[in-house]
Amino acid sequence: MASAESSAGIRRLKLVRDRLGTPYYESEQALLYHGDSLQLLHAVGESIFDLVVTSPPYNIGKAYEEPLPLDEYLNWCGDWMKLVYQAAVDTGAFWLNVGYVPVPRFGKAVPLPYLLWDRSPFYLVQEVVWNYGAGVAARRSFSPRNEKFLWYVKDAEDYYFDLDAVRDPDVKYPRQKKNGKLKCNPLGKNPTDVWGFPKVTSGKNRSSKERTEHPAQFPKAVIERIMLACSAPGDLVLDPFVGSGTTAEVALRTGRCAVGFELERRYLDLASERCERVGLEGEQLDLEEGQ
């Protein structure tokens, strides 16, 4: 039987279906749509998603994108981010990940977050640096090993944040006391704003277990931390550039409802397979528990 929280998420999921019509993929807790994110965000309306997590095309010529002049790209990002703001509930959050671009005459590899941070009405809480360990080598600069996430909220004073859900148990002196009281929370310490999670790698001998055919795939561990900290079980989560479906998969695995938009059918097929797998694993677990 669904909890009150999950029922609320499912009700809003059904509202999304009513507004957007038949999806590319559908399950009890997930909807994936084929189409342009701007158009779909326009149609979905206001105040419906608790959390939005996404990484749009970086505008650097990846296989799935057509690069735009930088000003056009930044304006396009501003347009869809404003629609994300409208689609978020009052206590909602928005996590944005983008990479680096060359800026003629000014920079070789300028972090896109520095060009985008003020392009939406959201309040910027924090920049989080994802240190991914492996990457390309450089000869005339330090080898790049990080990307940025911008954590936005709709209301600077009233937003969901569950620190206990993501505390780091790796504490050097967990039993240390001051005036008879533990100095550290028994659940662990607050993670810093630099997150060390391995990249989803490719290659014959070093490919990550979670690797799909998508060339720019999130690691599930990064999204899980965001999901647990910034949404509650039963919440409705959107990724307007869902790609291979990492956000949707993690949302389902952590008891949330998921909506995703994507232009490329081949990536929607990957995302659909991942969502379906979560459902099948859940059914198998229910059968085993019932034995």
Asked if 37 contacts 188 with a C-beta cutoff of 8 angstroms, the reply is no
The whole-angstrom separation of Cα 161 and Cα 169 is 18
- Please state the domain extents for the chain: 4-160+192-290
Residue 217: pLDDT band with limits 50, 70, 90: low
Q: How high is the pLDDT of residue 278? A: 93
The whole-angstrom separation of Cα 128 and Cα 137 is 23
Q: How high is the pLDDT of residue 233? A: 96
Q: Which one, of 217, 220, 278, 208, lies nearest residue 242 by Cα?
A: 217
Asked if 218 contacts 225 with a C-beta cutoff of 8 angstroms, the reply is no
Q: Which tens digits make up the pLDDT trace of 102-157?
A: 998 999 999 999 999 999 999 999 999 999 987 788 889 999 899 999 999 999 99
Q: How high is the pLDDT of residue 6? A: 60
Percent of the chain whose predicted confidence (pLDDT) is above 70: 84
The DSSP-derived string for 262-278 is ES-HHHHHHHHHHHHHH
Six-digit token string for 28: 């009890």
Residue 207 has pLDDT above 50, yes or no: yes
The whole-angstrom separation of Cα 73 and Cα 139 is 29
Residue 287: pLDDT band with limits 50, 70, 90: very low
Q: What average pLDDT is seen over the chain?
A: 88
Domain 4-160+192-290 has CATH 3.40.50.150: yes
Q: Regarding predicted confidence, which is higher, 174 or 253?
A: 253
Residue 285 has pLDDT above 90, yes or no: no
Q: How high is the pLDDT of residue 184? A: 79
Q: Which tens digits make up the pLDDT trace of 27-65?
A: 999 999 999 999 999 999 999 999 999 999 888 766 666
Q: Which one, of 130, 126, 118, lies nearest residue 55 by Cα?
A: 130
> What are the backbone dihedrals phi and psi of residue 47, each rounded to the nearest 5 degrees, phi first?
50, 60
Q: Regarding predicted confidence, which is higher, 237 or 169?
A: 237
Least confident span in 4-8, 176-180, 213-217: 213-217
Average pLDDT over residues 76-82: 97
Give me the amino acid identity at 188.
G
Q: Which one, of 257, 261, 203, 285, lies nearest residue 27 by Cα?
A: 257
Q: How high is the pLDDT of residue 103? A: 92
pTM for this prediction: 0.89
Which residue is associated with the tokens 């409208």?
A: 86
Reduced to 3 states (helix: H, G, I; strand: E, B; else coil), residue 52 is strand
